[in-house]
């Protein structure tokens, strides 16, 4: 069984020249992304709208999410990417009242929650903890995104299931996973060679398979002009790497199920 904890739909970049790194704005259609995952044998996935980095409305985000789920089915789990403006417009998260969105996405590089709005971030996490709604943080080597910077927020909300995405830097992530059992991480953009160290460190039960599809389109120069074909080729290569590294059943699906709880 394949469960991907980190997928996006919506507007992002596509590299048009691998030598000059020229990129053009591109819309990754929900149907295209969902069809690729279905053909690659994915059973369930968490996704959010990368269009939130553009000037879109909450209604636009919900439309994209519903379109994705209509194409793929109930195995597509929509997360609500809460931007600063979305939060200001709906601080009580009424958007979650109908139960459609199954989690929330937070990205420091889109809205500097940790650096500039920590009180709002605390309130967001308190609301989600009370509602038992999981959250995915972007983490990595950017100010405000390092695992140790987000860790105190997670520790103050021990009943909240939190995905520190990307497992980067992986050694720092391992230390955070060890001290905070409600934290998970995913393998999106993580080097597969680090996986054995996660196992050796005893944190495998907190690791979920993830790819960040289709974000790779903004970083890799694909020779094929067919976006669907390019995405599928990339995904099958990712699955081949997973096979070679022998990711456990827990990483490929079991931990995802626990993270999503009864919703998956």
Report the pLDDT value the prediction gives residue 114, as an integer from 0 to 100.
96
Q: Which pLDDT band holds residue 264 (cuts at 50, 70, 90)?
A: very low
Considering the domain 3-263 in this protein, what is its CATH number?
A: 3.20.20.140
Q: What is the spatial distance between Cα 217 and Cα 223, in angstroms, rounded to a whole number?
A: 11
Going 4 to 6 to 8 to 13, the CA torsion angle's sign is: negative
Q: Kindly report the length of the chain.
A: 264
Q: What is the spatial distance between Cα 162 and Cα 104, in angstroms, rounded to a whole number?
A: 10
Return the domain boundaries, the chain.
3-263
- Chain-centre distance of CA 45, in angstroms? 9
Q: What is the spatial distance between Cα 168 and Cα 188, in angstroms, rounded to a whole number?
A: 9
Write out pLDDT tens, residues 52-101: 888 889 999 999 999 999 999 999 999 999 999 999 999 999 999 999 99
User: Which alpha helices (DSSP H) does the chain contain, by range?
Assistant: 30-39, 58-72, 84-89, 113-116, 118-131, 147-155, 170-179, 195-200, 227-245, 249, 255-260
Report the pLDDT value the prediction gives residue 16, as an integer from 0 to 100.
74
Q: Which pLDDT band holds residue 223 (cuts at 50, 70, 90)?
A: low
- Chain-centre distance of CA 217, in angstroms? 16
Asked if the model's pLDDT at residue 225 lies above 90, the reply is: no
Q: Label the pairing between strands 22-28 and 3-17.
A: antiparallel
Q: Which residues contact 104 (CB under 8 A, 6 or more apart)?
A: 79, 80, 81, 82, 93, 96, 124, 128, 133, 134, 135, 136
- Ordered DSSP codes for 117-184: -HHHHHHHHHHHHHHT--EEE--SSSTTTSHHHHHHHHHT-TTS-EEEGGG-SHHHHHHHHHH-TTEE
Helix, strand or coil for residue 192? helix
């Amino acid at each position: 069984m394949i469960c991907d904890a980190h997928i996006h739909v919506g507007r992002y970049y596509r590299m048009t020249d691998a030598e000059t790194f020229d990129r053009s704005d591109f819309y990754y259609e929900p149907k295209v992304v969902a069809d690729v995952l279905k053909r690659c044998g994915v059973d369930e996935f968490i996704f959010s709208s990368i269009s939130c980095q553009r000037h879109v409305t909450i209604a636009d985000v919900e439309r994209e999410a519903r379109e994705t789920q209509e194409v793929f089915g109930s195995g597509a789990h929509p997360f609500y990417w809460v931007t600063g403006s979305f939060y200001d417009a709906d601080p009580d998260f009424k958007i979650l009242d109908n139960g459609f969105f199954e989690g929330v996405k937070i990205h420091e590089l889109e809205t500097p929650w940790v650096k500039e709005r920590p009180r709002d971030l605390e309130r967001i996490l308190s609301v989600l903890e009370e509602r038992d709604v999981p959250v995915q943080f972007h983490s990595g080597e950017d100010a405000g995104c390092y695992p140790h910077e987000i860790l105190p927020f997670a520790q103050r909300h021990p009943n909240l299931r939190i995905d520190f995405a990307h497992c980067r830097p992986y050694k720092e992530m391992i230390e955070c996973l060890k001290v905070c059992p409600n934290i998970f991480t995913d393998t999106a953009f993580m080097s597969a060679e680090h996986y054995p160290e996660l196992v050796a460190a005893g944190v495998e039960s907190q690791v979920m398979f993830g790819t960040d599809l289709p974000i790779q389109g903004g970083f890799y120069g694909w020779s094929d002009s067919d976006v669907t074909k390019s995405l599928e080729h990339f995904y099958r290569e990712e699955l081949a790497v997973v096979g070679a590294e022998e990711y456990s059943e827990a990483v490929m699906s079991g931990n995802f199920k626990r993270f999503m709880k009864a919703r998956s």
